[in-house]
Amino acid sequence: MLVSGALCALVMVAAGIGKVTGQPAMRASADHFSIPWDRYRLIGFAEIAGALGIVLGIWSKGVGLAAGLGAVALLAGAVMFHVRFRDAIKVAAPALVALAVAATYVTVQAAGIWA
């Protein structure tokens, strides 16, 4: 559980930092998806908040599960945007991998709660 949580939190923070700090690649993504930069940047804050919730899941499984479910929803939205804009798999791969990591974390966290 600790490994999947750490990996998920790391993925979420990495994605969030790029958006919050306004990295050129993230600004280009916002333009590509026709999302105003100030709104796109908010996604970065949500990703960082999700990572914090996942870390708190070490002590509170319910908080971790809720944060993980939020991460899955956010990343599913990211994948849907890539599909909507017909991005190549190479472009969508980071979102797909992040979604898989978050889904794995949720599965492990839920198993820990209901075990």
Give per-residue pLDDT as tens, 80-92.
999 999 999 999 9
- Residue 107 phi, psi dihedral angles, 5° rounding: -60, -45
Local structure of 18: helix, strand or coil: helix
What pLDDT does residue 92 have? 97
pTM, to two decimals: 0.93
> What is the number of alpha carbons within 13 Å of residue 75 lying toward its C-beta?
29
Mean pLDDT computed over 44-69 = 95
How would you class 79 by CB atoms within 10 Å of its CB: exposed for 0-12, middle for 13-18, buried for 19 or more? Answer: middle
Mean pLDDT computed over 39-64 = 95
Q: Residues 6 or more apart from 60 whose CB is under 8 A from it? A: none
The answer on pLDDT for 115 being more than 70 is: no
